[in-house]
A and B are shown apart, each in its own frame.
Chain A
Amino acid sequence: SAVISQKPSRDICQRGTSLTIQCQVDSQVTMMFWYRQQPGQSLTLIATANQGSEATYESGFVIDKFPISRPNLTFSTLTVSNMSPEDSSIYLCSVGQGNRDTQYFGPGTRLTVL
């Protein structure tokens, strides 16, 4: 399976600021996704990161709040903009090669907004 790293692993941020989270994979992958895991809850898909084009967002998530970049097949960033305490969550990227393929997850970024 691919080796996935995320930076930062954790951060504490002030309300109103923005944080960019990086996801790096050690091999080219077809699909990259971003998920949010709010405290004590399950994972919710934020968006599919598309290489060279705009990300595809799920219902309830918008580009202005969660801009995503994917410049190539091994790297993606998620920005959490204008943060509020409700954005405190673990943000995870995941990768997969196709519809039948297993999706593998990065270690996550634990974000706390004060």
Chain B
Amino acid sequence: AQSVAQPEDQVNVAEGNPLTVKCTYSVSGNPYLFWYVQYPNRGLQFLLKYITGDNLVKGSYGFEAEFNKSQTSFHLKKPSALVSDSALYFCAVSRRGQAAGNKLTFGGGTRVLVKP
């Protein structure tokens, strides 16, 4: 079985400050890891993914994430947060080599509130 934990229900940050959203995972074997963002009344938008290679992954809108295998973490970061980054963020994992394709398991989500 695979699982994802996002330990913070909400993260508050001032505009211009660094933003970090935490994610840890559990999966047998090597993982594929994803971050998605959900704005109010909209579907999920893909931000970035880790498949293999460089542990630091850069994605959309200035976001990046670092894969840490020893800590089984994949924290999302942005150096300077914007008010428009306020949204619900989901971390997801799938197991490499799954015969049925990339069935995603999602974390509980973290609400980010960026204050002006």
A96 CB contact (under 8 Å) in B43, B101, B108:
B101
B36 interface contact, C-beta 8 A: yes
Interface residues on chain B, number (Cβ under 8 Å): 26
B109 CB contacts on chain A under 8 angstroms: 41-42
Given contacts A42-B108, A100-B32, contact A48 B103 (CB under 8 A): yes
A31→B90 contact, CB < 8 A: no
B108: chain A residues at CB < 8 Å are: 41-42
Q: Is the CB of B106 within 8 A of A43?
A: yes
Contact partner of B46 (CB less than 8 A), chosen from A92, A98, A100, A102, is: A102
Interface residues of A in 76-114 (CB under 8 A from B): 92, 94, 96, 98-108, 110
Q: Does A53 contact B (CB under 8 A)?
A: no
Find A105's partner among B44, B98, B100 (CB 8 Å cutoff): B44
Residue picked from B42, B45, B94, B103, most chain A C-beta under 10 Å:
B103
Complex Cα spacing A104 to B44, Å: 8
CA distance A102 to B103 in the complex (A): 11
B21-49 near A? 1/0 per residue, CB < 8 Å:
00000000000101010000111111001
Range for the number of chain A residues in contact with chain B: 20 to 34
For residue B104, CB closer than 8 A to chain A, the reply is: yes
Indicate if the CB atoms of B90 and A42 lie closer than 8 Å.
yes
Partner of A103, one of B97, B98, B102, B107: B102
> Can you spell out 18 A-B residue pairs with CB atoms less than 8 angstroms apart?
A31-B102, A33-B103, A41-B108, A42-B90, A42-B106, A42-B107, A43-B104, A43-B106, A48-B101, A48-B103, A56-B100, A99-B96, A99-B101, A100-B32, A102-B46, A103-B34, A103-B46, A108-B42
18 additional A-B pairs beyond A1-B46, A42-B90, A43-B104, beta carbons within 8 Å, are A33-B103, A42-B107, A44-B106, A48-B100, A98-B102, A99-B32, A99-B94, A99-B96, A99-B102, A100-B51, A101-B102, A102-B34, A102-B46, A103-B104, A105-B44, A105-B45, A107-B43, A108-B42
